[in-house]
Structure 1
Amino acid sequence: MQRKWFQYWFNSPYYHILYQQRNHAEAEFFIDNLTKFLNPPADSKMLDIACGKGRHSIYLNKKGFDVTGIDLSEQSIKYARQFENNKLHFLVHDMRKLFYINYFDIALNLFTSFGYFETEKEHVNALKTFRKCLKADGVLIIDYFNTEKIIRNLNSCEVKSLDGINFNITKNVVDGKIIKKINFEDQQKVYNFEERVQAFSVEDFTRMLTKAGLVIQKSFGSYSLEDFELPESDRLILICKKA
């Protein structure tokens, strides 16, 4: 089977160079607000789906929760494992494949770690696996970008210079996907990567979640948990439960 763009790009050292300035303070601010809103019991079991290098998982664990982080990137999980303890574990795992059943109190899919697949059926199947891993009264949190705002403010070309590398980035909307092409040269070798993320609307998520047996309880538009406003919100944060 041909490897997908995310299997190459997320496992590349250049992915982590380009996104090295991801804000830990912002991530912790979001987690603080989420846990205050949800008020989970101290012994809650949490699943961080597409956890990357584990910044959300590590902070949730510091707050006392039992956290499992899963990601397809072997390199990210290898890095995250240095932080493991008896209540923090990391595993290489594809979010589309069944994991624990009726086990977690909260599952989190944060920082637009969804929308990577080609078909709606694949996305619905992923949501079904999220649902199956939750206890009967479990909660799923999805944190996506606000597609409408992203498209309206799309900066089609930019150059980012990091660690001596000039990343040439172009963004376009093609066939319902936001496509980011990342081209650069390092040590006299040319690299070409891309990100292809579905331009999902609130209606798309509502439909897919319904198909997966989930219902949206609340939607927020920022990491400070302001109400979602379609034109202006930066994020689309969905709090979901089993239907």
Structure 2
Amino acid sequence: MNSILMIMNSPQAEANWFESWFNTPYYHILYKDRDDSEAQLFMDNLTHYLNLPENGSILDLACGKGRHAVYLNQLGYQVTGMDISENSIAHASQYANESLQFKVHDMREPITEQFDAVFNLFTSFGYFDETADNIKALHVIKNSLSEYGFGVIDFLNASYVIANLVPEETKHIDGITFNIKRYVEHKKIIKEIEVIDNDKTFLFKEKVSALYLEDFEKMMEQCGIYMLDIFGDYKLKKFYKNESERLIMIFK
């Protein structure tokens, strides 16, 4: 009989789901086949568009295991990757060098350094239950920009995602079964993940706020942030509310 370990067993754990889920090895197993070529194409297009200074400094905020940060460093930039997950930073740190550093950091907490660009990529925003926490994160990004620096948030396009939501699917990876359910509740896009590993079953949740462009515009206005451009995919094509897969915002 399976032993079931309920990961989300308290209001505190529910609110801070990302701290437990991002630190578990199952998170990295489930998402290990993310498309690196697509990520690199995005970084090529983005750095070319921003025309960052040669050897410029970039903060990859919520960098995960560092796939974007490592490639940006290979392009010649001074890169710092920060993430709340100790396990992700431990993995990413194997790639560290004089111009590539990784640190454990909560994006709501102030950062003393300033950068030519701050990137928040692959829907690494909107995890928090309180709008005030999202505002804190935006303030951190703004205050971490140099005088001529650019902020970038690469977020899901909520209209497209909700319209194309796959309610249930099962994935088998490395002998582990992932039963996934997706739904929208209280303005959040929720993914319930049941992990079956031999005789153990774990339950996790991902929760991302269904933030739309107008939501970001309101929050950015509160923070004194100025939107410069909006794109709808990693080729930096025009954003269409009902058709684009991504919501990519460039701001100062």
Tell me if both proteins adopt one fold, taking TM over 0.5 as the criterion. yes
Superposed, 1:104-143 pairs within 5 Å as 104-143=115-154
Matched, 1:169 2:177: no
Matched, 1:66 2:78: yes
User: Match for 1:2 among 4, 12, 25?
Assistant: 12
Aligned residues: 240
User: Match for 1:189 among 174, 196, 200?
Assistant: 200
Superposed, 1:154-165 pairs within 5 Å as 154-165=165-176
Which residue identity does 2:21 align to in structure 1?
W
Distance 2:94 2:164 in 1: 38
Distance 2:44 2:195 in 1: 37
Cα shift at 1:215: 1.3
TM-superposition CA deviations, 1:153-206 (whole Å, max 9, x none): 111111111111110000110000001000021131110000000000000010
User: Match for 2:100 among 78, 88, 92?
Assistant: 88
- Contact residue 176 and residue 198 of structure 2 kept, 8 A: no
- Contact residue 73 and residue 79 of structure 2 kept, 8 A: yes
Q: Unaligned regions of 5+ residues in structure 1, if any?
A: none
Distance 2:42 2:223 in 1: 26
Which residue identity does 1:173 align to in structure 2?
V
Q: Unaligned regions of 5+ residues in structure 2, if any?
A: 1-10
TM-superposition CA deviations, 1:88-142 (whole Å, max 9, x none): 00000000000124x1110000000000001111101110011111112211000
Counterpart in the other structure of 2:69: 57
Matched, 1:42 2:54: yes
Counterpart in the other structure of 1:16: 28
Distance 1:164 1:187 in 2: 8
Cα shift at 1:81: 0.6
1:2 is paired with a residue of what secondary structure? helix
After superposing on structure 2, the runs of 4+ consecutive aligned residues of structure 1 that deviate more than 2 Å are: none
Distance 2:71 2:196 in 1: 35
Superposed, 1:95-106 pairs within 5 Å as 95-101=107-113, 103-106=114-117
Q: Please provide the CA RMSD for this pair.
A: 1.0
Cα shift at 1:39: 1.1
TM-score, normalised to structure 1's length? 0.97
TM-score, normalised to structure 2's length? 0.93
